[in-house]
C-alpha cells in the first residue's frame, strides 16, 4: 500500500511497515517505588547525580540515594511535607545545576540538599511583584545557565535563579530567508548542547531559532525537509540518520497524530504505521546500537536504524501498555508505565561496555572544546588495536573521518580537523575493535 505526499515540489513515497516480531531482548522485572501503594501512580523517574527522583501523582516527591533500595519523602518548606497542591496534574521532571536541583509544579522550586527539602524560587522578573512565586511554562539548564519560558518571553539566569534577565533574541537573530517576524515562543529545549526556541508568528508560521553560545546570538534553522505542513509538524532525531516526524491535528474535538520515519535525514519519509492515529510517542533512548521507543502501544525496538522493528513489551512481566518514560542509571534501564508502575532491566548484554575489550579502555573529553581548527581526542588502550574516529553533523551526515590505524597499548591521541566546518555541534564516534564511544564537539567561528 502506498501513500503520496508533496513537499517543495517533491514526491515522497511512503509505505507501511510490517507487523513487528514479538521478541524481547531484555529481561525485565517489576521495580517497586517505596511500596506497592505508590508504585502504580508513578509515571516518571529522573536520574540525577544525587540519585533517583519521582513524584507520586497528586501527593508527594520521593527520592532514593541508593539506587532504589530505600525511598524517602521530600519536605516542602512552607508548602507542607506531603501535598504538592490539591489536584496537581503534573508529572515532574527534575533538572540539576552544579549546586542545586530544580523542578516545576508549575511554580519553580529548588533543593540545595540533594533533594531532601524543597522551597519555591521567588520572582525577580520585572513584570512580577517582588517576592511572588515564580510560575514558568518551561525551564531548561545548559551547563551553569538557567533559561526560563514565561508567557512567550525567555529569561536567562547565571546565579541559579536568584536574578533573571530578559532575552531580546529576535533583535540578534540573523534571518537569512527574510520576511519572518516571530511573536510567540511555544517552547524552549536543549539538544546536543544547542539551545532551541520554537517560535511562530500571527499567521501560525513556525520557525526554529538556535543558539550555540547560550543565547548570546541566534540564527534561524528550519532543520530537515518534513513530510507534511511544517507549521503543524515537529521532528526529533532518534539515531544518527533516523528521524521521527509527528503531525498533531484536531478533528471533531479529538486529537490525532500522523507519524513518519526517515532513515536518510529527511530526504525520504515512510509512514510509521505501527502506531494508530490516536497513539503517540512519549520518549526514546539509544543503548549501544539498539533504539527503544516508548509509545502508547508499548515499547518498540530496532537494532538496524529503523529498517525492522520488534515489540519488546507484552512478554513476561512487561505489560503491553502506555509507556511514559525511560531512565538509564548505569547499566539499569527503567521504564515507567502509566498507572502500572515501573519496570527495570540490565542492559549490559546489548551495550559496548559488556565487550571483553572494554576492560581498561578509557576515553577522555576532547580538548580544546569548543574548537576552531583542531581538537584532540585522547584515549587509553589496554592492548594494541585498530582505532578510528568519525565525525557527524546534527543531521547525521558524515563530515570527517580519520584513517583507521593500528595503535599500541597505552595513551593515544587522534587529532580531529574542524577547520572546514561551520559553527555548530558535531557528534564523534571513536571505534576500537567493535567498541564505540560517542560524544560531542562544538565548533565556533
Encode pLDDT of 238-275 as tens digits. 888 899 999 888 888 899 999 999 999 888 999 988 88
Residue, of 359 and 141, whose pLDDT is higher? 141
Nearest-angstrom CA–CA distance, 72 and 113: 13
- Residue 7's pLDDT is 32
Mean predicted confidence (pLDDT) in 317-323: 83
Cell representation of residue 386: 585498530
Q: Tell me, what DSSP letter sits at residue 245?
A: E
168-182, 275-289, 290-304, 386-400: which range is least confident on average?
168-182
- 379 contact partners, CB below 8 Å, separation of at least 6: 361, 362, 363, 364, 387, 411, 412, 413, 414, 430, 432, 437
The domain 2-353 is placed in CATH, from the list 2.130.10.10, 1.10.1740.10, 3.40.640.10, 3.40.309.10, at 2.130.10.10
- Mapping DSSP to helix (H, G, I), strand (E, B) and coil, where does residue 358 land? helix
Q: Are 382 and 409 a contacting pair, CB within 8 Å? A: yes
pLDDT-derived band at 369, boundaries 50, 70, 90 = confident
Which residues belong to CATH 2.130.10.10 in the chain?
2-353
- Helices then strands (H, E): number in the chain? 2, 41
> What are the pLDDT digits (tens) for 190-233?
887 888 888 877 777 777 888 888 888 888 877 788 887 766 78
CATH 2.60.40.2550 is the classification of domain 357-443: yes
Nearest-angstrom CA–CA distance, 259 and 233: 10
Closest CA to 61 of 49, 69, 77: 77
Beta-carbon-side half-sphere exposure of residue 264 (alpha carbons within 13 Å): 6
The DSSP bridge pattern shows strands 51-56 and 46-48 to be antiparallel
The DSSP bridge pattern shows strands 281-287 and 28-31 to be unpaired
**Prior bond of 368 cis (ω within 30°):** yes
> What are the pLDDT digits (tens) for 389-411?
999 887 778 899 998 888 888 88
- Residue 110's pLDDT is 92
Which residues belong to CATH 2.60.40.2550 in the chain?
357-443
Percent of the chain surpassing pLDDT 90: 13
Beta-carbon-side half-sphere exposure of residue 395 (alpha carbons within 13 Å): 12
Nearest-angstrom CA–CA distance, 316 and 295: 18
153-162, 347-356, 392-401: which range is least confident on average?
347-356
Closest CA to 281 of 298, 268, 264, 302: 298
pLDDT-derived band at 416, boundaries 50, 70, 90 = very high
pLDDT-derived band at 348, boundaries 50, 70, 90 = confident
Nearest-angstrom CA–CA distance, 237 and 326: 16
Nearest-angstrom CA–CA distance, 289 and 409: 26
Cell representation of residue 210: 538556535
pLDDT-derived band at 342, boundaries 50, 70, 90 = confident
Checking if the pLDDT of 43 tops 60, the result is yes
Checking if the pLDDT of 355 tops 90, the result is no
- Residue 129's pLDDT is 58
Nearest-angstrom CA–CA distance, 236 and 219: 19
Mean predicted confidence (pLDDT) in 168-179: 55
Q: What angle do CA 96, 43, 27 make, to 5 degrees?
A: 100
Neighbours of 390 (CB within 10 A): 18
Find where cell 571483553 sits.
356
Please give the model's pTM, rounded to 2 decimal places.
0.69
Mean predicted confidence (pLDDT) in 346-350: 77
Mean model confidence pLDDT for the chain = 78
Amino acid at each position: 500500500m502506498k501513500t503520496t505526499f508533496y513537499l517543495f515540489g517533491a514526491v515522497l513515497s511512503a509505505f507501511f511497515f510490517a507487523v513487528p516480531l514479538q521478541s524481547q531482548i531484555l529481561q525485565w522485572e517489576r521495580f517497586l517505588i517505596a511500596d506497592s501503594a505508590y508504585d502504580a501512580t508513578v509515571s516518571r523517574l529522573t536520574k540525577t547525580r544525587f540519585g533517583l527522583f519521582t513524584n507520586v501523582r497528586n501527593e508527594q516527591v520521593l527520592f532514593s540515594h541508593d539506587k532504589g533500595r530505600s525511598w524517602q519523602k521530600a519536605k516542602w518548606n512552607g508548602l507542607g511535607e506531603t501535598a504538592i497542591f490539591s489536584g496537581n496534574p503534573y508529572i515532574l521532571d527534575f533538572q540539576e545545576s552544579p549546586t542545586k536541583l530544580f523542578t516545576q509544579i508549575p511554580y519553580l522550586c529548588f533543593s540545595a540538599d540533594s533533594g531532601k527539602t524543597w522551597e519555591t524560587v521567588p520572582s525577580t522578573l520585572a513584570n512580577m511583584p517582588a517576592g511572588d512565586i515564580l510560575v514558568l511554562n518551561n525551564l531548561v539548564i545548559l551547563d551553569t545557565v538557567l533559561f526560563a519560558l514565561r508567557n512567550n518571553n525567555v529569561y536567562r539566569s547565571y546565579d541559579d535563579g536568584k536574578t533573571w534577565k530578559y532575552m531580546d533574541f529576535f533583535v540578534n537573530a540573523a534571518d537569512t530567508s527574510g520576511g519572518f517576524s516571530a511573536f510567540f515562543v511555544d517552547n524552549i529545549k536543549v539538544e546536543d548542547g544547542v539551545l532551541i526556541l520554537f517560535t511562530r508568528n500571527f499567521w501560525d508560521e513556525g520557525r526554529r531559532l538556535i543558539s550555540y553560545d547560550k543565547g548570546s546570538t541566534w540564527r534561524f534553522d528550519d532543520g530537515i525537509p518534513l513530510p507534511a505542513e511544517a507549521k503543524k509538524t515537529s521532528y526529533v532525531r532518534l539515531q544518527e540518520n533516523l528521524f521521527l516526524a509527528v503531525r498533531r491535528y484536531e478533528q471533531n474535538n479529538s486529537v490525532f497524530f500522523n507519524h513518519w520515519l526517515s532513515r536518510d535525514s529527511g530526504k525520504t519519509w515512510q509512514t510509521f504505521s505501527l502506531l494508530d492515529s490516536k497513539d503517540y510517542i512519549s520518549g526514546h533512548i539509544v543503548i549501544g546500537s539498539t533504539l527503544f521507543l516508548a509509545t502508547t502501544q508499548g515499547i518498540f525496538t530496532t537494532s538496524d536504524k529503523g529498517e525492522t522493528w520488534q515489540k519488546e513489551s507484552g512478554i513476561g512481566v512487561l505489560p503491553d501498555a502506555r509507556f511514559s518514560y525511560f531512565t538509564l542509571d548505569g547499566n539499569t534501564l527503567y521504564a515507567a508505565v502509566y498507572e502500572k508502575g515501573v519496570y527495570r532491566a540490565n542492559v549490559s548484554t546489548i551495550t559496548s561496555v559488556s565487550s571483553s575489550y572494554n576492560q581498561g579502555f578509557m576515553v577522555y573529553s576532547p580538548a580544546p572544546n569548543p574548537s576552531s581548527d583542531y581538537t584532540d581526542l585522547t584515549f587509553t588502550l589496554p592492548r594494541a588495536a585498530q582505532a578510528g574516529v568519525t565525525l557527524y553533523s546534527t543531521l547525521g551526515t558524515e563530515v570527517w573521518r580519520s584513517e583507521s590505524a593500528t595503535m599500541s597499548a597505552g595513551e593515544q591521541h587522534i587529532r580531529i580537523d574542524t577547520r572546514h566546518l561551520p559553527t555548530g555541534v558535531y557528534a564523534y564516534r571513536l571505534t576500537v575493535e567493535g567498541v564505540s564511544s560517542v560524544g560531542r564537539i562544538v565548533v565556533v567561528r
